[in-house]
Chains A and B, each alone.
Chain A
Amino acid sequence: MQFAHVDTDWNVLSDEAFRDRAAALFDQCPQELRNARLRPRAAESRGWYLHLSRAGWLAPVWPRRYGGMELSPSKYLIYVEEMERLGCPRLRDSGVNTLAPILILQGTDAQREEYLPKILAGEHTWCQGYSEPNAGSDLASLRTEAELRGDEFVINGQKLWTSSAFDATHIFMLVRSNKSVKKQAGISFLLVDMRQPGITVRPFKSLNMQEEQCAVFFDNATTPVRNLVGEINNGWNVARAQLGYERLFSGSSRQSMTFLFKLRRIARLTGKLEDPAFVDRLTQITFDVMDLNSAYERMARTLKDGKPLGPEASLLKVWATETCQRVGELMMETADECGGLMGDVQFGDESIELLYPFLEARSWTIYGGSNQIQRNIMAKGVLNLPS
Chain B
Amino acid sequence: MNAPSAEELDLLRDQARTFTRQHTDHRRLRQMRETLPGHARDVIAQFAGLGWNGVLFPESLGGSATGFSAMGVILEELGRGLIADPLVPGAVLAGRAILHCDNEALKQKLIPGIAEGTITASLAWQERPGTLDPQAIQTLATVDKGLVSLTGGKQFVAFAEAGGFVVSAKRAEDVVLVWVPRDTPGLKLQMQWRADGTPGAMLALDNATVPQENMAGAGKQALERAIDEAAAMACAEMVGVMRAALDITTEYMRHRVQFGKPIGSFQALQHKAVDLFMQQELAAAVAAEAAEVLDREPRKDERTRIIARAKARCNDACLRITRESIQLHGGIGTTDDCDIGLYFKRALTLSAWLGSSPVQRARYAPFTRQECELDV
Contact = CB atoms under 8 A, between A and B. Distances in A.
B264 A386 contact: yes
20 contacts: A264-B372, A273-B372, A279-B365, A279-B369, A282-B368, A284-B361, A286-B368, A287-B361, A294-B285, A294-B286, A294-B289, A298-B284, A315-B278, A319-B282, A379-B264, A379-B271, A386-B254, A386-B262, A386-B264, A386-B265
Given A265-B375, A283-B361, A315-B281, A291 B309 contact: yes
Interface stretch (A54-62, A134-142, A185-193, A370-378): A370-378
Interface of B: 6, 246, 250, 253-254, 261-262, 264-265, 267, 270-271, 273-275, 277-278, 281-282, 284-286, 288-289, 309, 312-313, 358, 361-362, 364-365, 368-369, 371-373, 375-376
Contacts of A297: 285, 289
Nearest to B363: A283
Given A291-B313, A375-B271, A276 B365 contact: yes
A379 B274 contact: yes
Contacts of B358: 280
A372 B271 contact: yes
Most-contacted residue by chain A among B271, B282, B369, B376 (CB, 10 A)? B282
A291 B281 CA distance: 10
B191 to A, nearest CB: 34
A261 interface: yes
A331 B365 CA distance: 18
A312 B282 CA distance: 12
Nearest to A273: B369
Contacts of A287: 309, 312-313, 361, 364
Given A280-B361, A376-B267, 8 more contacts: A273-B372, A279-B369, A283-B364, A286-B364, A294-B286, A298-B285, A318-B278, A385-B270
Contact of B281 (A282, A295, A305): A295
B361 A295 contact: no
10 nearest CB pairs, A to B: A379-B270, A385-B264, A295-B285, A294-B285, A264-B372, A375-B274, A283-B361, A268-B372, A291-B282, A375-B271
A295 B6 CA distance: 18
Interface in A278-320: 279-280, 282-284, 286-287, 290-292, 294-295, 297-298, 305, 312, 315, 318-319
A341 interface: no
A287 B363 CA distance: 13
A384 B275 CA distance: 14
B270 A294 contact: no
Contacts of A286: 364, 368, 371
A285 to B, nearest CB: 10
Nearest to A262: B375
A379 B365 CA distance: 36
B370 to A, nearest CB: 10
Contact of B368 (A279, A298, A315, A384): A279
Nearest to B251: A384
A267 interface: yes
B288 A298 contact: yes
A382 B276 CA distance: 12
A364 B30 CA distance: 47
A166 B246 CA distance: 48
Nearest to A379: B270
B372 A379 contact: no
A43 B219 CA distance: 67
A378 B250 CA distance: 12
Contacts of A110: none
B372 A319 contact: no
The residue among A261, A282, A319, A385 with the most chain B CB atoms within 10 A of its own CB is: A385
A387 interface: yes
Nearest to B276: A383
A137 to B, nearest CB: 12
A295 B277 CA distance: 13
Given A279-B369, A280-B361, A283-B361, A383 B285 contact: no
B269 to A, nearest CB: 8
B283 to A, nearest CB: 8
Interface in A205-222: none
B281 A312 contact: yes
B282 A295 contact: yes
B207 to A, nearest CB: 40
A292 B376 CA distance: 23
